[in-house]
Every structure is written in C-alpha cells, then in structure tokens.
Amino acid sequence: MSFFKAVWVILHKDLLNEKRTFVTLGSMLVFALIVILIFLFAFNLAAGLRQETACGVIWVTLCFSGTLSLERSMALERESDGLDGLMLAPHDHTVIFTAKVLSNWLFMLLTAVIVIAAYALFGNVALFSPGFMGVILLGTLGYILIGTLVETLNIQIKSHGHLLSVLLFPLLIPLIMAAVNASALTLNGADPLGLRTWLGVLAGYDLLFLAAGIMLYDKILEE
C-alpha cells in the first residue's frame, strides 16, 4: 500500500467515526462558541475594542478547543487498542502521524471558520480576509503538529490527559505570539515588514515540528 493511500485509509476511519458520533467536533464547537459569546456579551466592549481584541480572543479559544480534539482523537485509539493495531500494519509509522495531523487539523479549521463567523456576526466586526485566513492555516497547523506529538507521548506513558496541557501550552508560546501579532497586522493592514517577520516565525515553527514528527514519531510509539 502506498504512503498516501495508507494515510487516506486512517484519515477516512477517523472522519467516519466522527460522522457517526459527532463527539469531537461537536464538543469543540460548543466550547468555542460559549467562550466567544461569554466574552462578547459579558464585557460589552465598544466596536473598536472588539476589533482590537478579536485576534487574542479567537486564538485563545482555538487553543483550548483544540485540546479537546487532540485528547478525543487519541482517546478513541487508547480505549479500543486501535493504536496497537495501526502500529502492526505494514507501513511506516509516519503514516499514522500524518493522518492524525490531517484529521485534527480539519476539525480545528472547521471550528476556526465558525468561531470567526460568530465573532464577526455578534461583535459586528469585519474579520474575513485572505491574509487572516492564511495566518489561521499556518497557526492551526503548527498547533496540531506539536499537539499530536505531545498527545501520543501522553498516551504512551498512560497519564490520561494530564501531560497534554502541561507540555503543550509552554511549547505553544512562540506560535501564539506569532499568530496573534500576524493576525492583528493582516486585519489592520499595517507594517508589512513586521507581518513578514511573524509569518516567517509561523512557517519556521511548522517546518520545525513537521520535521520533529517525522523523525521522532516512530520512537514515541515504540516507547
């Protein structure tokens, strides 16, 4: 079986499970929308402040809702011993890493679109722009790459969720700083040099943890 076909088989399995239960995406959406609505209506900010704080609120919401996707994705494999079965399949373990990254990234992107739409609608601010969507793509990919590595390690040492937040969020600090600053610059349309700098940080972060996943995932699974 080719690499891409093997990735598709695992990805299709995850998407089919989600279609049947709607547990992962449903919990992410409910959590994210509650956070957005609480922020908008509890603080009752003026339109200018809602625009200025949008990037920070959206990225914090995505980070916390993303942990639900990561934990649920690997919990299903743990509960059914599915990870052991995937490891016995005749393919490189990078296939598992790639498929898990793609499925979790898809869930996070769908959540991001709905969160941005909800914030724009209820906050009466304009948020949709090609530049901002590009930052969302880069930022969520980096989040999922490192999150998949950490959650797989979490499964292997049987800590059942405690290690994810302890290790994940400190590692995300450069990503969140770059994503929030790049998002603000794309929406405000200022400082193109600063925007290129932050986009470079995001792209570098993605490449770094993509390489780490390719090199380390086998060792993590074999622990």
pLDDT digits (tens, 9 = 90+) for 8-50: 888 888 888 878 878 788 888 888 889 888 888 877 776 667 7
Q: What is the percentage of the chain residues whose pLDDT exceeds 90? A: 24
Of the candidates 96, 116, 118, 46, which has an alpha carbon nearest to the alpha carbon of residue 213?
96
pLDDT at 101: 92
**pTM of the predicted protein model:** 0.88
Dist CA 95 CA 3 (whole Å): 7
Does the pLDDT at position 159 exceed 60? no
What is the spatial distance between Cα 117 and Cα 111, in angstroms, rounded to a whole number?
Answer: 10
Tell me: pLDDT of 219 over 70: yes
Whole-angstrom distance, CA of residue 133 vs CA of residue 105:
14
Mean pLDDT over all residues of the chain? 82
